[in-house]
A and B are shown apart, each in its own frame.
Chain A
Amino acid sequence: MLFHTQAFLLAFLPLTVAAYYALAGYPQARRWATVLASLVFYGYWDWRLVPLLVLSVLANWLLSLLPPRLPMRWVVAGGVAANLAVLGFFKYADFLAGSVAAALGLRHDPYGIVLPLGISFFTFQQISYLVDLGRGTAPRYRLADYALWVTLFPHLIAGPIIRHHEIIDQFALPPLRPGLAERLSRGFTLLVLGIAKKVLIADQLAALADPLFAAAQAGRTLGLGEAWTAGVAFSLQIYFDFSGYSDMAMGLAMLLGLMLPVNFDAPYRASSIREFWRRWHVTLSRFLRDYLYIPMGGNRLLPAARAGATVATMLLGGLWHGAGWTFVAWGGLHGAALAANQAWNARGLRMPAWLGWLSTMLVVVTGFVLFRAADFASAASIAASMVGVHGLKAVSGAAAMQAADLALLLAAGAIATVGPPAHVWAFERLRPRAWIAAPVAAAFVYLLLLVGGGRNTEFIYFQF
């Protein structure tokens, strides 16, 4: 079920929130009702995917019950391996088999494996729990708490990646505790902002970027202006798409009185690539840092080894985003940029903030061309167009940019770089004024009408 659909906003959400508060006095029933609602939310897409999710939750939870006298190191290693095996089967089997076949000059017919939604998210979350359990930093939870942490519908399909200790304690808070009206108001307002970011901005940017990437994939050479339009439009699209989703997730959780971690903190204001990754998909960055980079040695390593660990971490981070070599290369590009940043800082070199921002955005936009392109050939073609290899003419073909497209790009760019992030506005700066509430509610009704047309696009991050 998508958040920005009438089925979700007019049926699932009101019923679920009503049940949650109706069961305010029954903590266990409230947890199970929310787990059940989350499974309905998950299964609405394809109910055949529900058993895998349920099995994954039960298996990992049962693992945590094993007596501590057992060698936890091996228990955890086995659990992590099993989780990765499941993820590998569903997400990477075709990719690996295809890559091996290509290396041997053979043909690979895809296995036709259906990728369960959000599998990367719920697998990574549970891996983090098992590792923490092994480190002795995680308690054993009751099944209701554990299941609710993994399945909670606001974050189940596309994150944020929530660590167990960030939310499970919140499940015990009484839903009707003081501040209910404020939590509902702020949560609903952020939900509306998130939907607006997705529907009014990201989807419009997609209409600008998609034909250009499709043209490049079909072998057409883009002009300089077209190539930059494609890169910038997609970079903004994925930001508004994914951060809009995260805003919706935070807003929805707040409707239940739960605070999710921030996932996007104005990443396009970053003046270094390191800062970018502290602001972009923050919960994934933290995961990669804590469960990959630091175990590899992290900042304690010698400079060369540290750079290697950084690149390796980002290569795996790229692969997490999708089973394709373009994603790996995208991770590698960011890894190399981060390693260069480490070397730069280690020498105590400095750069004006504006130059730092510009060079960061160059890496980010170029990276997203690689991320979005269907293959290396079209990515290389667009990148070549961006540096003027295919001539300096602004556009080629019939796709001259309209004034409205330019306005959209400029407005989206301004919001992404100047305005406060939506969650900051809704959760910190919003004041309880009726003249703000009325347009927020009117916007909600307008968005409901807009998404009622039956032609919704999926979130980009659903595939990861």
Chain B
Amino acid sequence: MASWNRYLKALAATALGAGLGIYAFILVLDGYDTVWFAPAFDREPVTSNQRFAFPALARKHRFDSAIVGTSTARLLQPKQLDPLFAARFVNLSMNDATAWEEAQIFAVFRRHHPKPRAVILGIDAVWCQAGEDYRRLTPRPFPAWMYDANRWNDLLHLFNLPALEETARQAAYLVGLRKPKYGKDGYTGFLPPDSDYDLARARFHLYGPGGPRPVVAVVPPVTLGEAEARALKFPMHGLLDEMFGGLPAETLKILVVMPYHLNNQPAPGSRDAAVWAECKRRLAAAAARGGNTHLVDFMIDSDITRRDENYWDPLHYTQAVAARLTQAIAAAVGERRDRQGLYRYFGPSP
């Protein structure tokens, strides 16, 4: 009898001791930087899934401006944008993000920055797929609990192996055992440095084993009738109202249609090209309604998009191109006009 009492006590003591000890470790060191009562250590973004790492960055008051988008916008560097816009940018772009996920991370940013100085939204295919509905999530886990206004419910989602692993990584960063992997402003160079660029490899990614081939226009070109164009639905555009609606007039809002390699853009004259054109027309109209809203369209046949050596793959451009885009965005917003062969501009007249 007494020995079963001892067994039970050993069970309870070990389970409670180990369980509470691990939970305390996770809460105090706070790998995801999301526990509101954790000590204020200078934490790093720890996880490779930006959906877990970026809510913490979106709450930081050291930023006053944000970049939101997919991996194509992840390549824009806040430190290059900051001087051009006299702002402090955080890049909240997430790999393979859906428009809905982009709206969620921006909602967190807005909650903590009611009067942002500037917002850049990278427009990708996820914003221009016509249909009745849009995809909200991807196979990558999305921790909705990190995105709501309730910080208490986060505590229910932190007792698990991934949280323990990320907290151990955070601890290693904090004590200097490991070098941080992800930038504190959200920027991480996830592509190799330009010095390692290999055109042959890039062309394989761009064209496949067949090698380079010219863009072939569809003849005769598909044109959408007015009624047909009007019937197209881009339900994700409603998210734009959620994201930008109610932002102060002085907030600079920039929609940037990201520059896919020309071979990855819809072929001229194709139905897809016509759908994209209608999508851009509607976005431009939304920008015109928005006030202090600019649309810069790099998804055209341009000096950037037609050169293979600007790309690692059909979507992702080199660091040099990223720097060039940064300058071009600032120039477009400043000059408020097209620049032939580089971008088209839609927005308030100069």
Most buried by B among A188, A433, A437, A442: A437
Selected interface stretch from A66-74, A179-187, A245-253, A399-407: A179-187
Instruction: Give A contacts to B, CB under 8 Å.
Output: 6, 178-179, 181-182, 184-185, 188-189, 432-434, 436-438, 440-442, 444-445, 448-455
Instruction: Give B contacts to A, CB under 8 Å.
Output: 1, 3-8, 10-15, 18-19, 22, 141, 156-157, 159-164
Jot down 19 A-B pairs with beta carbons below 8 A, ordered by A.
A6-B156, A179-B4, A181-B4, A181-B7, A181-B8, A182-B4, A185-B8, A432-B7, A434-B10, A437-B11, A438-B10, A440-B11, A441-B10, A441-B13, A441-B14, A442-B18, A448-B159, A452-B163, A454-B157
- In the complex formed, the residue of B with least CB distance to A451 is B160
Find out whether the CB atom of B7 lies under 8 angstroms from the CB atom of A437. Answer: yes
A245 CA / B22 CA spacing, docked (Å): 27
Find out whether the CB atom of A452 lies under 8 angstroms from the CB atom of B159. Answer: yes
Find out whether the CB atom of B18 lies under 8 angstroms from the CB atom of A445. Answer: yes
Most buried by A among B10, B12, B141, B161: B10
B161 contacts which of A432, A437, A453 (Cβ < 8 Å)? A453
- In the complex formed, the residue of B with least CB distance to A181 is B4
Find out whether the CB atom of B159 lies under 8 angstroms from the CB atom of A178. Answer: no
Find out whether the CB atom of B161 lies under 8 angstroms from the CB atom of A441. Answer: no
Find out whether the CB atom of B157 lies under 8 angstroms from the CB atom of A444. Answer: no
Find out whether the CB atom of B7 lies under 8 angstroms from the CB atom of A449. Answer: no
Contacts of B159 in A (CB 8 A): 6, 448-449, 452
A184 CA / B11 CA spacing, docked (Å): 10
Find out whether the CB atom of A434 lies under 8 angstroms from the CB atom of B164. Answer: no
A432-B4, A442-B18, A448-B19 known; A185 and B161 CB under 8 Å?
Answer: no
A184-B8, A185-B7, A432-B4 known; A453 and B15 CB under 8 Å?
Answer: no
Find out whether the CB atom of A449 lies under 8 angstroms from the CB atom of B161. Answer: yes
Contacts of B141 in A (CB 8 A): 454-455
A181 CA / B10 CA spacing, docked (Å): 12
- The 5 A-B pairs with the shortest beta carbon distances in the complex, nearest first, are A452-B160, A441-B14, A437-B10, A432-B7, A441-B15
- In the complex formed, the residue of A with least CB distance to B159 is A452
A61 CA / B1 CA spacing, docked (Å): 40
Find out whether the CB atom of A449 lies under 8 angstroms from the CB atom of B164. Answer: yes
Find out whether the CB atom of A442 lies under 8 angstroms from the CB atom of B4. Answer: no
B11 contacts which of A185, A449, A453, A454 (Cβ < 8 Å)? A185
CB proximity of B166 to chain A, nearest CB, Å: 12
Contacts of A440 in B (CB 8 A): 11
- In the complex formed, the residue of A with least CB distance to B163 is A452
Interchain pairs with CB closer than 8 A, number: 75
A121 CA / B279 CA spacing, docked (Å): 55
B6 contacts which of A434, A442, A448, A451 (Cβ < 8 Å)? A434
A182 CA / B15 CA spacing, docked (Å): 17
Find out whether the CB atom of B19 lies under 8 angstroms from the CB atom of A433. Answer: no
CB proximity of B177 to chain A, nearest CB, Å: 22
A383 CA / B102 CA spacing, docked (Å): 48
Contacts of B157 in A (CB 8 A): 452, 454
Find out whether the CB atom of B4 lies under 8 angstroms from the CB atom of A445. Answer: no
A432 CA / B163 CA spacing, docked (Å): 34
A440 CA / B10 CA spacing, docked (Å): 10
Contacts of A453 in B (CB 8 A): 160-162
A189 CA / B7 CA spacing, docked (Å): 11
Find out whether the CB atom of B7 lies under 8 angstroms from the CB atom of A433. Answer: yes
CB proximity of B165 to chain A, nearest CB, Å: 10
B18 contacts which of A189, A441, A450 (Cβ < 8 Å)? A441
CB proximity of A18 to chain B, nearest CB, Å: 13
- In the complex formed, the residue of A with least CB distance to B19 is A445
- In the complex formed, the residue of A with least CB distance to B161 is A449
Contacts of A450 in B (CB 8 A): 160-161
Find out whether the CB atom of B7 lies under 8 angstroms from the CB atom of A434. Answer: yes
Contacts of B163 in A (CB 8 A): 452
A434 CA / B162 CA spacing, docked (Å): 30
- In the complex formed, the residue of B with least CB distance to A435 is B10
Contacts of A184 in B (CB 8 A): 8
Contacts of B19 in A (CB 8 A): 445, 448
Find out whether the CB atom of A441 lies under 8 angstroms from the CB atom of B11. Answer: yes
Find out whether the CB atom of A436 lies under 8 angstroms from the CB atom of B15. Answer: no
Contacts of A441 in B (CB 8 A): 10-15, 18
Find out whether the CB atom of B22 lies under 8 angstroms from the CB atom of A445. Answer: yes
Given A181-B1, A438-B10, A454-B160, 14 additional A-B pairs, CB 8 A: A181-B7, A182-B1, A182-B4, A188-B11, A433-B3, A433-B7, A437-B10, A437-B14, A441-B10, A441-B14, A448-B19, A449-B164, A453-B160, A453-B162
Contacts of A182 in B (CB 8 A): 1, 4
Contacts of A445 in B (CB 8 A): 14-15, 18-19, 22
Find out whether the CB atom of B7 lies under 8 angstroms from the CB atom of A444. Answer: no
A184 CA / B141 CA spacing, docked (Å): 37
Contacts of B5 in A (CB 8 A): 181
A438 CA / B157 CA spacing, docked (Å): 26
A453 CA / B143 CA spacing, docked (Å): 11
A454 CA / B163 CA spacing, docked (Å): 12
Most buried by B among A438, A442, A455: A438
Contacts of B13 in A (CB 8 A): 441
CB proximity of B63 to chain A, nearest CB, Å: 29
Find out whether the CB atom of A178 lies under 8 angstroms from the CB atom of B161. Answer: no
A6 CA / B19 CA spacing, docked (Å): 12
- In the complex formed, the residue of A with least CB distance to B15 is A441
CB proximity of A68 to chain B, nearest CB, Å: 46
A442 CA / B13 CA spacing, docked (Å): 10
Contacts of A454 in B (CB 8 A): 141, 157, 160
Find out whether the CB atom of B15 lies under 8 angstroms from the CB atom of A432. Answer: no
Contacts of A442 in B (CB 8 A): 14-15, 18
A455 CA / B160 CA spacing, docked (Å): 11
A455 CA / B140 CA spacing, docked (Å): 12
CB proximity of B291 to chain A, nearest CB, Å: 41
